[in-house]
Structure 1
Amino acid sequence: MTAYDDLMAHERQTRALGQIAGRLAWDQETVMPDGAAPQRAEESEALEHVLHARRTDPRVGNWLDEIDETALDEVGRANLRHIRRRFERTSRVPVKLAGEIARVTSSAQRVWAEARAASDFTAFAPVLAKVVALKRDEAAALADGGDTYDALLDDYEPGATGAELQAMFDALRPRLVALRDRVMGAAHQPAPLKGTFDEKAQMKLARALARSFGYDMRHGRLDKAVHPFSSGSGLDVRITTRTNPDDPFNCTYSTIHETGHACYEQNIDPDYLLTPLGEGVSMGVHESQSRLYENQIGRSRAFTGWLFDRYRAAFGDLSAPDAEAFWGAANRVHPGFIRTESDEIQYNLHIMLRFDLERRMIAGDLAMDDLEEAWNSRFAADFGVEVDNPANGVLQDVHWSVGLFGYFPTYALGNVYAGCLMQALARATPDLEARLVRGEVASVTAWLAANVQRPGGLHEPKDLIERACGTPPSEAPLLDYLDAKFAEVYRL
């Protein structure tokens, strides 16, 4: 065997073990008994030690040195790019630190869930302080003298920097705030959907919607979790959602969102299975799929007209008297606390809040004792509403408990990418609206499968979006889309 063959055989086994680690995390969030948490933390730590040892195996460095990249094709060169990047990064992190992060975040996740249920930040703060301290140590090791937050961000959006994202947010904020103010002051205000909605019926509809978007249940499943997420790649891709008897949109759009993630993973070229190219190339690109599925398609006038009939079949008569009122309810702008329930206009403002706070935490400029107050003050300033309890504020997201610092800004970047992709999709699909009216979503998302999803990690994130759209990524298409859509919804 050549050095490249040896390297890829080693990589395949490492990625198989990584999938097992992901399955442990899925189990923990869905069906694991509460009392198993201490043991699961040790199991996660043990597996992370094995993975870290394989990822930093000196043979990987030797193989990389031996391989003649000029003799490889595009796929081979892309595999090397990913393996080298991870090898260099992982080698900077001591194995003891990697294991400790796995152990602490595994137990912290359960502490967070209990604290959120009790709306008690003081119960979570000590373990979050441990997570932040460990992630700061990891960031310092990865940064090697550079920016510590950028070092963490690179795990989720390779090549992006905090400064670039800050510039993007600075460009987004003025038009988003101006549009929100116009919408909030509009004479026409869509009514919310009211009533009590059977949770079993919500889940039945959720499964049907996931299939309609192209999710292959032969290689996946849909379960319930405190915080919806997608897990896995290749032949085993699982999603979760949640239900609320007073708000069926929560279940519907959480499901469509996670289906976007899952379809991305399921549609990657099967030849890339268990290789570096066999997963989504970045979280920004991942979020572009889930946000586009959820919003530009799932909340469009055409699709909600089709969904309106499915809702009536599932729940009976609705407070929305017709499809137009239902479309308004699905796109209603309101000053809510919860990011995952936010409207499209204000969603990025939620992300900017988290982005700023976590950068300060990693930099050491925000102490844990001050985090809740910093959150509440910023929320009041950005949204004009006082946070009523921690579950609706600093405790609402799972991300920090599991150490995902640098993840949040990729949601907003995904929205920007989605704006660009939707523009290209509309150009490529002249009968887009007619298809959505009929609920033919899988045929529409086939364009995304071909142009974004199938390549997996073959291209760098920005390059992939530019190839699909024909132009470099820009926030302008997203802002233009939001202005046009909400002018219609609110009759501005």
Structure 2
Amino acid sequence: MSAFDDLLAFQRQTEALSSIAERLGWDQETVMPRGATEQRAEEMAAIEEVLHDRRTDPRLGEWLAAAEPRDEVETRIVELIGRDFTRASRVPARLASELAKTTSLAQGIWAEARANEAPEDFLPTLDQVLMLKREEAAALADGGDPYDALLEDYEPDTTATEIAQVFDAMRPRLVALREDVLGAEFQPQSLAGHFPQETQLRLARTCATAFGYDWTRGRMDMAVHPFSSGRWQDSRITTRVFETDPFNCIYSTIHEVGHSSYELGIDPDYAFTPLGRGVSMGVHESQSRIYENQMGRGRAFTGWLFNRMSDAFDGLNITDADAFYATVNRVTPGYIRTESDEVQYNLHIMLRFDLERDLISGKLDTSDLVEAWNARFLKDFGVAVDRPANGVLQDVHWSVGLFGYFPTYALGNVYAGCLNAAMREAVPDLDDALGQGDGGPGVEWLRENIQRHGGLKRPRRLIEEATGSPISPDPLLDYLEEKFARIYRL
């Protein structure tokens, strides 16, 4: 066997073990007994120790140095294993294990604190997570910017400075559009009524099927915070239900189908290699957001959904498909990021991006986080946070140590804007299919141009080759301004 063959065989086992660890995380957030938290933390720490040992095994350095890749695929595999080897070697095994254990415990503590509206019960644990992430960031940065070092895990080849420039360019147009929309004379009607859980879940499954979700390789469960998990032949989705708001369940489901379909759409030859996963969280988010918004919240699909919901719930207080489309896209100054309309969503991300950069740099301490969050939210949204679950406790990310993750949500929207413009040109009859409850033509275009490549191409190259244009926030902003000007009769 060649050095590359040895490298690939070793990596195959590492990828399998990583997938097992991910499955443990899925179990913890869905069906694990609440009393098993401490045991699961020990299990996660143990498997992380094994993974860290493998990712820093000295033989990797020898194989990487001797490997002679023969084509683009093998070259990229060597590049990605080498990157992970370098990064893992900078993090002490003790720190990797402690992070896995602490974040596993923190996740349950966050969920309890959120349910009890008690940030004081969570902040000491968050402080432990933050101290560990600061230590990890310093080790990974190797003298560079600590936040950039964390960002590399989620959006390679991008810096916080570059992201801040994109956000600065987006903010004025988003704020101006929000002001125009909220000040418009016409305001869509809100959906009202009682929507039973089981009926919502049946409808959510119907919507997942409409967007091509492969139920032979997936499943849907309930979680406090919706997510998807898994890859290759097993990628699962979760959703949540509020019986006064069926849109929360339906669009969370479609969003997670986008994530899961990305993983299931990757070339099967890449399974158990570094190519067998989404190339970045920004690209991942582009898939979930284009499924949810540009396709799922468009006039064509909402027309189909209106009929399905009217039948499922024995009528709605919204009486026609055009009014329903406006209701689905209603802009309100709400608190929750995952329930936010398209106009304001990115403003939520900008808030979190600035706060977590300050947390990692030490400019902000966890003891001051609630006050900082509430003040920034009031400044950005003009509304005072009414309770912690609608404020600093609403997201799971910091509890599980995902610092550097949040900005990829907004980058995903930017990528989705670029992809949507290209997809609409390439698939001119897409709305005809969506109007029949069939997202297949759009899904197939995304699978061919994005999903099947997995980690083969760097994020920027992947998006630019798919669209034939440089990445820019303009297509997203143009789409939002045109869409909401029509809805709000501006």
TM-score if structure 2 supplies the norm length? 1.00
SS at structure 1 position matched to 2:453: coil
SS at structure 1 position matched to 2:415: helix
Distance 2:411 2:167 in 1: 9
Which of 83, 86, 89 aligns to 1:85? It is: 83
Instruction: Give a deviation string over 1:318-361, Cα, whole Å, max 9, x none.
Output: 01110011101100000000000000010000000000000000
Letter in 1 for 2:140: L
Which of 250, 269, 272 aligns to 1:271? It is: 269
Which of 141, 160, 163 aligns to 1:162? It is: 160
Distance 2:311 2:265 in 1: 31
Distance 2:475 2:441 in 1: 23
Q: Does 1:14 align with 2:2?
A: no
Give the conservation status (yes or no) of the 8 Å contact 2:433–2:440: no
Instruction: Find the counterpart in structure 2 of residue 256 from structure 1.
Output: 254
Instruction: Find the counterpart in structure 1 of residue 23 from structure 2.
Output: 23
Instruction: Find the counterpart in structure 2 of residue 421 from structure 1.
Output: 419
Instruction: Give a deviation string over 1:184-242, Cα, whole Å, max 9, x none.
Output: 01011001111100110101111111111111011110000000000010001001000
Give the conservation status (yes or no) of the 8 Å contact 2:427–2:441: no
Letter in 2 for 1:17: L
SS at structure 1 position matched to 2:229: strand
Instruction: Give a deviation string over 1:445-473, Cα, whole Å, max 9, x none.
Output: 11000000000000000000001000111
Name stretches of at least 5 consecutive residues in structure 1 with no aligned partner: none
Instruction: Find the counterpart in structure 1 of residue 203 from structure 2.
Output: 205
Distance 1:79 1:206 in 2: 37
Q: How far 1:282 sits from its partner (Å)?
A: 0.3
Instruction: Find the counterpart in structure 1 of residue 231 from structure 2.
Output: 233
Letter in 2 for 1:439: G
Distance 2:291 2:414 in 1: 14
Instruction: Find the counterpart in structure 1 of residue 104 from structure 2.
Output: 106
Distance 2:287 2:7 in 1: 31
Q: Does 1:394 align with 2:397?
A: no
Which of 376, 381, 384 aligns to 2:382? It is: 384
Distance 1:54 1:442 in 2: 40
Distance 2:231 2:79 in 1: 20
Instruction: Find the counterpart in structure 2 of residue 296 from structure 1.
Output: 294
Distance 1:337 1:63 in 2: 50
Instruction: Find the counterpart in structure 2 of residue 138 from structure 1.
Output: 136
RMSD (CA atoms): 0.6
Q: How many residues align?
A: 490
In the TM superposition, 1:413-492 aligns within 5 A as 413-492=411-490
Instruction: Find the counterpart in structure 2 of residue 54 from structure 1.
Output: 54
Which of 356, 366, 369 aligns to 1:368? It is: 366
Distance 1:451 1:68 in 2: 28
SS at structure 1 position matched to 2:221: strand
Distance 1:112 1:205 in 2: 30
Letter in 2 for 1:196: H
Q: How far 1:68 sits from its partner (Å)?
A: 2.3
Instruction: Give a deviation string over 1:238-268, Cα, whole Å, max 9, x none.
Output: 0100000000000000000000000000000
SS at structure 1 position matched to 2:358: helix
Letter in 1 for 2:219: R
Give the conservation status (yes or no) of the 8 Å contact 2:430–2:441: no
Instruction: Find the counterpart in structure 2 of residue 37 from structure 1.
Output: 37
Instruction: Find the counterpart in structure 2 of residue 217 from structure 1.
Output: 215
Instruction: Find the counterpart in structure 2 of residue 5 from structure 1.
Output: 5
Give the conservation status (yes or no) of the 8 Å contact 2:276–2:455: yes
Distance 2:428 2:441 in 1: 13
Instruction: Find the counterpart in structure 2 of residue 187 from structure 1.
Output: 185
Moved over 2 A (4+): none
Give the conservation status (yes or no) of the 8 Å contact 2:3–2:67: yes
SS at structure 2 position matched to 1:111: helix
Q: How far 1:443 sits from its partner (Å)?
A: 2.5
Letter in 2 for 1:451: N
Instruction: Find the counterpart in structure 2 of residue 285 from structure 1.
Output: 283
Letter in 2 for 1:13: Q
Distance 2:12 2:203 in 1: 37
Greater Cα offset, 433-442 or 169-178: 433-442
Instruction: Find the counterpart in structure 1 of residue 170 from structure 2.
Output: 172
Distance 2:475 2:46 in 1: 46
Q: How far 1:437 sits from its partner (Å)?
A: 1.1
Which of 333, 336, 349 aligns to 2:334? It is: 336
Distance 2:241 2:460 in 1: 35
Distance 1:291 1:451 in 2: 16
% identical equivalent positions: 63
Name stretches of at least 5 consecutive residues in structure 2 with no aligned partner: none
SS at structure 2 position matched to 1:103: helix
Distance 2:390 2:197 in 1: 22
Distance 2:471 2:264 in 1: 25
Distance 1:256 1:385 in 2: 29
Distance 2:53 2:311 in 1: 54
SS at structure 2 position matched to 1:232: strand
Q: How far 1:274 sits from its partner (Å)?
A: 1.0
Q: How far 1:276 sits from its partner (Å)?
A: 0.5
Q: How far 1:284 sits from its partner (Å)?
A: 0.1
Instruction: Find the counterpart in structure 2 of residue 67 from structure 1.
Output: 67
Q: Does 1:353 align with 2:351?
A: yes
Distance 2:311 2:12 in 1: 46
In the TM superposition, 1:307-346 aligns within 5 A as 307-346=305-344
Distance 2:17 2:440 in 1: 32
SS at structure 2 position matched to 1:219: coil
Distance 2:206 2:315 in 1: 20
Instruction: Give a deviation string over 1:376-404, Cα, whole Å, max 9, x none.
Output: 00000000000011110000000000000
Q: How far 1:444 sits from its partner (Å)?
A: 2.0
Q: How far 1:81 sits from its partner (Å)?
A: 1.1
Distance 1:483 1:98 in 2: 45
Q: How far 1:155 sits from its partner (Å)?
A: 0.1
Distance 1:398 1:76 in 2: 36
